[in-house]
Amino acid sequence: MLPGATGAPIPACSNKSRQLRIHLPVHARSSVLQPGYALKLSLPEGDRNLDDKLDIVETEGLGATQTHVLTPGEAPSETMMAFLRLIQLQGGCWLDG
């Protein structure tokens, strides 16, 4: 069981030899479960270019931490992909002032 999780396990998959169970905290359950994942991404606090990256996301009306929904069979959003590219940028002349 995950730390802080309560409630009954939800069977995720099984075979003859073992069974995997996922435990969700009570607040994570809902009456309608849809397949997919919520992925929370943040700009790293130790990034030497954090101020520049914060300026970029704020210009786009976004925050330093974002949650993106990933649904099976669908491509990730353009916003998520752009944010991932921004996280991975490690310098270069465009960030040097």
* pLDDT (0 to 100) of residue 94: 53
Q: How confident is the model at residue 93 (pLDDT cuts 50, 70, 90)?
A: low
Task: Please check whether residue 21 is in contact with residue 13, taking contact to mean a CB–CB distance below 8 angstroms.
Answer: no
Residue-wise pLDDT for 34-89, tens only, equals 688 899 999 999 999 999 999 999 999 999 999 999 999 999 999 999 999 999 98
Distance CA 23, CA 6 (A): 7
Q: Which has more confidence, 52 or 91?
A: 52
First-to-last alpha carbon distance for the chain, in angstroms, is 48
pTM of the full predicted structure?
A: 0.59
pLDDT exceeds 90 at position 24? no
Domains of the chain by range and CATH? 1-33 (no CATH), 34-97 (3.90.1420.10)
